Amino acid sequence: MNDQSSAIKDILKKYPRANLITTDLIIHKLTRLSKYLGCNLFVLRDDLTGFALGGNKTRKLEFLIGDAISKKADCVCTRKATSFSRNAAAAGKALGLDVFVVIEGTEFQQNPMSQSIFKCFDCKLSYTADKNNEELLGSYHKLLDLLKAEGRSVYELHPGGSDSIGALGYVNAFDKIIDFSNKFNIHFSDIIFSTSSAGTQAGLIVGESISGYETHITGISASRNIEEQKKIVEELAISTSSMLGIPINANKINVDDGFIGPGYALSFPESEKAIKAFAEMEGILLDSVYTGKAAAALFEYSSNKKFKGENILFIHTGGNSGIYY
């Protein structure tokens, strides 16, 4: 086994996992887009993780639910109707845990498709009166107090799954990227993807630090300016590396906020063009919330020769084409 990969495997051994993902990590070359963009473009298909709705959240949940079970939790709680909470509902149900989610707004203001997913997994939902973050937090803490008063053993899930335990999902994914790189003798000079709650990027940065695999990791911000997003990534990368007892180089954290467009979950001409190209050339569906913005950056970086080398890895972090938002 290559030393770069074995170092990560050894460190992660002591952290329990729920083993939700039973498929191998999927990386393949995008032949038509490679020719169109003038580089060797590969995609990591985390939209196809093989559990529930897929996406990067399932990698985080493997470690989070594993941690919850190891701590004898009988239920998990989180907030907001997101790709994370929908996948958390599935993960909890599959492992015998009750899942509670507090959602902003009334029941009638929700996306019916999202609601049907929660119902499918028997998720316990409660709602705030307004789409107000302060009220949402208040309702969430009332729920926690109620459950604890009932004698429940509660495990809290950070929205997006982006805490030190959740970030281990992408430390582990980085290990699998190295395995692919070694097997096929393909070194990725650049890795590009959408960044928001920071678990994906922080995990990749920590994986790079452990392994010594040299690459250029760039997170494309979905909504925050570069200072805010970089701070979130750095704090999570440091807390995760501290938990693991390894140093990281904060100078390795690269964030680009030039592809937010008019705002969170809102598309713009460049992202729409990239989404259309992925669909028409490769049959891959992106979304306007996250992956479409990262794809817009991919296209601009390719045209402006911003990549450090020729073998580029684009991480498809999921999104279900935006239909549940």
Q: What would the pLDDT profile of 237-247 be if each residue is shown by its tens digit?
A: 999 999 999 99
CA of residue 135 relative to chain centroid, distance: 26
Grade residue 192 by pLDDT with cuts at 50, 70 and 90. very high
Same domain, yes or no: 266 and 176 = yes
| pLDDT (mean) for 85-100 | 96
Same domain, yes or no: 180 and 300 = yes
Instruction: Look up tokens 């609601």; give the residue.
Output: 115
Looking at 161, 187, 216, which one is the last position of a domain? 161
Residue of 13, 49, 5 lying closest to 180 (CA atoms): 5
- What is the three-class DSSP state of 74? coil
Same domain, yes or no: 91 and 229 = no
What's the number of domains the chain is made of? Answer: 2
What b-and-e string marks burial along 81-112, b requiring 16 or more CB atoms within 10 Å of the CB? bbbbbbbbbbbbbebebbbbbbbbbeeeebee
C-alpha span between 197 and 75 (Å, rounded): 23
C-alpha span between 11 and 245 (Å, rounded): 9
pLDDT at 5: 59
Instruction: Look up tokens 């993807």; give the residue.
Output: 193
pLDDT at 321: 65
pLDDT at 323: 66
Same domain, yes or no: 315 and 257 = yes
- Here the CATH number for the domain that contains residue 157 is 3.40.50.1100
Grade residue 129 by pLDDT with cuts at 50, 70 and 90. confident
DSSP 28-60: EE-HHHHHHHTSEEEEEEGGG-SSTT-SHHHHH
CA trace torsion 138, 140, 141, 143 (10° rounding): 120
CA of residue 45 relative to chain centroid, distance: 12
Helical residues (DSSP H) of 29-153, grouped into ranges: 31-37, 56-70, 83-94, 112-120, 133-149
C-alpha span between 41 and 93 (Å, rounded): 37
Same domain, yes or no: 47 and 170 = yes
Q: Are 37 and 79 in contact (CB under 8 A)?
A: no
Grade residue 89 by pLDDT with cuts at 50, 70 and 90. very high
Looking at 126, 161, 196, which one is the last position of a domain? 161
Domain that holds residue 79: 57-161
pLDDT in tens, 208-217: 999 999 999 9
Same domain, yes or no: 155 and 198 = no
- What is the three-class DSSP state of 193? strand
List, edge to edge, every strand of the sheet that includes 124-127. Answer: 124-127, 98-103, 75-79, 154-156
Same domain, yes or no: 153 and 291 = no
C-alpha span between 41 and 27 (Å, rounded): 10
Same domain, yes or no: 110 and 249 = no
Same domain, yes or no: 75 and 26 = no
Looking at 161, 192, 221, which one is the last position of a domain? 161
Same domain, yes or no: 67 and 24 = no
Q: Kindly tell me if the per-residue pLDDT of 324 is higher than 70.
A: no
Same domain, yes or no: 94 and 128 = yes
pLDDT at 270: 96
Same domain, yes or no: 128 and 269 = no
pTM: 0.94
